[in-house]
Amino acid sequence: MAAPPFRASRGFANAHWQTIYGSLFAPRPAVAYRRERWDTPDGDFVDTDHVDAEPGRPWVLLFHGLEGSSQSPYARQLMHRVRARRWRGTVVNFRGCGGEPNRLARAYHSGDSAEVDWIVRRIRAAAGDAPLFTAGVSLGGNAMLKWLGEQGEAAKPIVTRAAAVSAPVDLMAAGEALGRGFSLFYAKHFLATMKARAEAKHARFPGSFDLARMRRARTLREFDDVVTAPLHGYRDTDDYWTRASSKPLLRRVAVPTLLVNAKDDPFLPREALPAPHEVSEHVRFEFPDEGGHVGFVHGYPGRIDWLPERLLHFFDHQE
């Protein structure tokens, strides 16, 4: 049974309306999470929110996007449907995103495939022989795809299927797009919360980065250059965006993987979307003309249930 294609609501046929509504105003169904705190290999922690079900049921693991969490609309929409299927589910709140500052100066970033690795392996051990499906949204999608590419065939015993949504697979192209035009609106939205977190981080770890430069940052490029890159082992923004991008590794993906990106995504120009020759035979594209960035709003008065149903359909069927 083929999955229905995405058709944008006529009232949300603009990429920016799709993006804004999907991230800020979309319905967030109630989900009764069970929280666990997991210590990381380097002495930090992540908070994980779980949807429980009987042992042996399929498990869906979600990695959220920049400044997201288990409370993001797409996360709650997906986990609401996971529960309805009586599957198991987990949303990983990246370091500092679970409602409490993390212990170390470092936080999370687009290329953190090492973080993805130990989390996926821990869930795999808990899942037993049950299918394990991984999903990544935006930043989390890039980090997950990078892990899949690095692991190649070694990922097949761990993950059954994977899906990435609105992943900025070419961080250089994405970063440049967010530095001009209307897309600067999104950059400023993210910068407001990122700079507030950075202020609190610097108060706990004085000298960890140049505070004055951070306060002057007006674009994601400037912020990443002074905060994200040095805190996570990169020389500068160019080094970070180049080495953290998942696109060069997509040829090595061995797990059946779905890429869902709208061609009008303001975070990634359509010309930067991967072409067939840039991915392995195991990667399937779904690039609708409309949908914005993690928007995919359809129907009336504005529903965002197409995306979680599309992911679960891919996980559930041998397409």
Q: Which of 112, 265, 298, 305 is catalytic?
A: 265
Half-sphere exposure of 75 (CA within 13 A, CB side): 29
Q: Which of 80, 109, 293, 298 is catalytic?
A: 293
Q: Which of 69, 70, 113, 138 is catalytic?
A: 138
- CA–CA distance, 144 with 249 (Å, rounded to integer): 11
Q: Would strands 59-63 and 88-93 be described as parallel, antiparallel, or unpaired?
A: parallel
- Told to judge if 117 belongs to the known catalytic residues of this protein, a careful annotator would answer no
Cα four-point dihedral sign 292, 193, 62, 271: positive
Which residue's entry shows tokens 């197409």? Answer: 306
Q: Please count the residues of the chain.
A: 319
Omega before residue 269 within 30° of 0, cis? no
Q: Would strands 132-137 and 34-39 be described as parallel, antiparallel, or unpaired?
A: unpaired
- Told to judge if 293 belongs to the known catalytic residues of this protein, a careful annotator would answer yes
H/E element, 244:
helix 237-244
Non-local (6+) Cβ contacts of 31 within 8 A are 51, 70, 76, 79, 80, 83
- Told to judge if 110 belongs to the known catalytic residues of this protein, a careful annotator would answer no
Is residue 11 classed exposed, middle or buried when 0-12, 13-18 and 19+ CB atoms within 10 A define those classes? middle
Give the catalytic positions in this structure.
138, 265, 293
